[in-house]
């Protein structure tokens, strides 16, 4: 009888040891993840902050829309890059090869990288690869994650210089960049975008409706990346146009939802030129300098 008891006790100890090892493995890496009260997850190792989307089948277009509208924890979110998702992939950890703090039952997480007008890249946490898939299809395992660079204190507004039009002048694109789809563009550490083809360097203005007058004021006062910026010419903007690329016929590295970008040229004392990216072959046209609907400000300089 005693022998049976000790055998049972030995099996119980072994079972508890295996369970504890499995638990430890499933929670490996907890030391560099912190869950905030607002629901986001901070990766203290990479400095990125994550927000997990609805746990249901999601298309790329739905994920893109959800991220753009996400205001949780102060906003400023974007879709993740492939490399950023790969950084949280840990084979054998949790039930989705990622730390348990990322609460999702999906295997595919959509990336920021669109491929033409119909496909986009996802990261597959089951196999650790990067499949292409239809952007319109809400796959059963498709999910949306949002990410942003962690600021030291997001409870306080960023202390940036303001123009009279209330546009920040010390940032390029509000630090919300995605990968270039072609490799033509390089994003610098300060947020500017280098066009390796034309050798021009770009700074994307705030993604809000902007008039020509506001754009001119912003460009004059911007100090991002060392300053020295100017408004772009129509011809320079036209070289950014790529039919079928991204949502706006421009590489998604230019994170802007506006339909038009103001050019430096004026038509008369009341009107100025814009370049429209949502027209066949792109289009130059003029509009009133005080009008702001759909307009955006870009700044440019020769690459140093």
Q: What confidence tens digit (pLDDT) does each residue in 11-39 have?
A: 666 655 555 554 444 444 456 798 998 99
2 lies in some domain: no
**Do residues 144 and 183 both lie within one domain?**
no
Least confident segment among 26-35, 63-72, 83-92, 103-112: 26-35
Radius of gyration for the alpha carbons in the chain, expressed in angstroms and rounded: 24
pLDDT for residue 211: 93
286 lies in some domain: yes
Predicted TM-score of the model (pTM): 0.50
Name the one residue in this structure whose structure tokens are 């990968």.
Answer: 179
Q: Are strands 119-124 and 145-149 parallel, antiparallel or unpaired?
A: unpaired
Least confident segment among 2-16, 95-109, 146-160: 146-160
259 lies in some domain: yes
**Do residues 184 and 98 both lie within one domain?**
no
CB 26 within 8 A of CB 93: yes
Domain that holds residue 243: 173-302
Average pLDDT, the chain: 81
d(CA 259, CA 274): 10
d(CA 224, CA 210): 18
Q: How many domains does the chain have?
A: 2
Q: Does residue 242 surpass a pLDDT of 60? A: yes
* 129 vs 187, higher pLDDT: 129
56 lies in some domain: yes
46 lies in some domain: yes
Q: Does residue 51 surpass a pLDDT of 60? A: yes
**Do residues 253 and 184 both lie within one domain?**
yes
pLDDT for residue 146: 94
4 lies in some domain: no
**Do residues 123 and 244 both lie within one domain?**
no
72 lies in some domain: yes
**Do residues 227 and 145 both lie within one domain?**
no
34 lies in some domain: yes
**Do residues 130 and 194 both lie within one domain?**
no
Section 266-293 average pLDDT: 84
**Do residues 214 and 297 both lie within one domain?**
yes
**Do residues 194 and 247 both lie within one domain?**
yes
**Do residues 104 and 140 both lie within one domain?**
yes
pLDDT for residue 151: 46
The string of DSSP codes covering 5-21 is HHHHHHHHHHHHHHHHH
**Of 116, 149, 182, the domain-final residue:** 149
CB 261 within 8 A of CB 274: yes
**Do residues 290 and 194 both lie within one domain?**
yes
Q: Which of 28-42, 151-165, 179-193, 232-246 has the highest mean pLDDT?
A: 232-246
CATH number for the domain harbouring residue 285: 3.10.100
d(CA 86, CA 163): 39
Section 99-105 average pLDDT: 94
Using 50, 70 and 90 to split pLDDT, how confident is the model at 285?
A: confident
* 171 vs 70, higher pLDDT: 70
CATH number for the domain harbouring residue 78: 3.10.100.10
**Do residues 78 and 123 both lie within one domain?**
yes
């Amino acid at each position: 009888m005693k022998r049976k008891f000790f055998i049972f006790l030995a099996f119980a100890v072994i079972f508890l040891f295996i369970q504890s090892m499995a638990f430890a493995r499933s929670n490996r890496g907890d030391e560099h993840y912190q869950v905030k009260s607002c629901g986001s997850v901070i990766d203290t190792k990479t400095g990125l902050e994550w927000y997990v989307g609805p746990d249901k089948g999601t298309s790329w277009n739905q994920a893109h829309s959800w991220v753009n509208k996400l205001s949780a924890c102060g906003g400023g979110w974007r879709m993740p890059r492939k490399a950023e998702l790969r950084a949280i992939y840990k084979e054998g950890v949790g039930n989705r090869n990622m730390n348990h703090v990322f609460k999702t039952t999906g295997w595919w997480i959509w990336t920021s990288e669109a491929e033409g007008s119909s496909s986009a890249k996802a990261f597959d946490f089951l196999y650790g690869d990067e499949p292409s898939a239809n952007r319109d299809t809400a796959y059963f395992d498709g999910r949306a994650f949002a990410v942003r660079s962690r600021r030291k204190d997001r409870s306080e507004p960023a202390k940036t210089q303001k123009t009279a039009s209330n546009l920040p002048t010390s940032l390029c694109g509000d630090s919300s960049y995605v990968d270039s789809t072609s490799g033509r563009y390089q994003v610098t550490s300060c947020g500017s975008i280098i066009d390796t083809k034309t050798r021009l360097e770009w700074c994307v203005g705030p993604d809000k409706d902007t008039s020509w007058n506001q754009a001119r004021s912003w460009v004059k006062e911007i100090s991002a990346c060392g300053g020295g910026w100017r408004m772009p010419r129509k011809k320079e903007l036209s070289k950014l146009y790529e039919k079928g690329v991204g949502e706006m016929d421009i590489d998604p590295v230019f994170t802007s939802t506006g339909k038009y970008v103001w050019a430096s040229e004026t038509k008369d004392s009341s009107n100025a030129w814009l370049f429209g990216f949502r027209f066949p072959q792109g289009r130059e046209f003029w509009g009133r300098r005080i009008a702001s609907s759909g307009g955006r400000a870009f700044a440019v300089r020769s690459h140093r």
